[in-house]
Amino acid sequence: MQEHPLQERPLREEEAKHLEKARSAAAESEELVPVSMDPLSGGQGEVVLTVVIPIYNESANILPLCEEVTDVLLGMQEPCEIIFVDDGSSDGSAELLDQLAAQADNIKVIHFRRNFGQTAAMMAGIDHASGSIIVPMDGDRQNDPADIPRLLDKLAEGYDVVSGWRKERKDKRFSRVLVSQVANTIISKFSGVQLHDYGCSLKAYRRDVIEGVRLYGEMHRFIPVYARWQGARVTEIPVNHRPRTEGRSNYGLERVLKVVLDLLVVQFLGRYETKPIYVFGGFGLASLALSGLAAGYAVFLKLTARADFVETPLPLIAVTAMLCGCMSILMGFLAELLVRTYYESQEKVPYRIRQKINLP
């Protein structure tokens, strides 16, 4: 079995208990997960659906979750696959995932060297997905795999992104639900994409609308925003949300601050990705205007004998604002050069095509 760097250090007592529990569950896993999954095999045709599941210390949830997802996919007519991304787990999750992958070819596993976060795990799963439709979901079993066909049915109505809405959310009222509602309202207002639940991992994407999207920090929740800005048709449907029965949540209130900061980045990239001089230059011109006003008023006070230059902070404000204005404009020029380098060096284009007719 593949060795993982995180397992080379001595395990703490709690981790050792989790690992032993995971090994015991793995010994009985043949009864939980079908070994023969021919209806989902990519050998019968091109893979249509990829389910991406990030895993971080979810050893107690992996086997029942895989069984649930497998039952749903076995009922579908098209070839499917499941990609588990082990985000540096240390509780025996890696061993369970390796055993699952050994039982069925359509179960694929990616092991990270260390914990990189949920966004990185989702990005890795999306990058390695073979399906034309990609459905990410959490590994804690709070997302219900039975909702996957409903997402696909909605996608078939002509949408490019279908987002899950945990309308009846089974989480702590204040620390999770209320804070999430506030965050969702802020994101909807500033992004212009009206969704009730950005934080729900259970979504369905057409592959072509998220190809080339690079995600960092906690930005996986903003994929519908990126897609809408590229012209994708986005909608949402209520999905079932279940209480966590095993393990513990890996997120706290500090996540809210990360989301707010990521929202600022998303707003900047969405509006000024190809013309950064607009934001830098706009601030620079405003600073130069403030400098001129401060300098003019200081001269006026001097000429009317109301105040000398040393008796008012206006000269200092004028000089500081002028320097900030000049630096901002110069930074805008540098940003413009970087944007051109980014697109031209990789032969990228600042547009997306939905369809071509009578063209190669």
Q: What is the DSSP string of 211-265?
A: TT----TTGGGGHHHHHHHTT--EEEEE--B----SS-----THHHHHHHHHHHH
- pTM exceeding 0.95: no
Tell me the two tokens of residue 248. 């513990």
Tell me the two tokens of residue 243. 């209480």
Asked if CATH classification 3.40.50.1110 holds for the domain at 42-271, the reply, yes or no, is no
Per-residue pLDDT tens, the chain, 360 aa: give them.
Answer: 444 443 344 445 555 555 565 556 545 544 444 434 444 544 456 889 999 999 999 889 999 999 999 999 998 888 999 999 999 898 889 999 999 999 988 999 999 989 888 888 998 899 899 999 999 999 989 999 999 999 999 999 999 999 999 888 876 766 567 777 777 888 888 778 888 888 888 999 999 888 777 777 677 888 888 888 878 899 999 999 888 777 566 555 566 677 777 778 777 877 788 889 999 999 999 999 999 999 999 999 989 888 888 888 999 999 999 999 999 999 999 999 998 888 778 777 666 666 666 576
Whole-angstrom Cα distance, residue 105 to residue 41?
A: 7
Whole-angstrom Cα distance, residue 261 to residue 142?
A: 26
> What are the extents of the domains in the chain?
42-271, 277-345
Strand pairing report for 133-136 and 107-111: unpaired
Whole-angstrom Cα distance, residue 205 to residue 147?
A: 14
Strand pairing report for 203-206 and 161-165: antiparallel
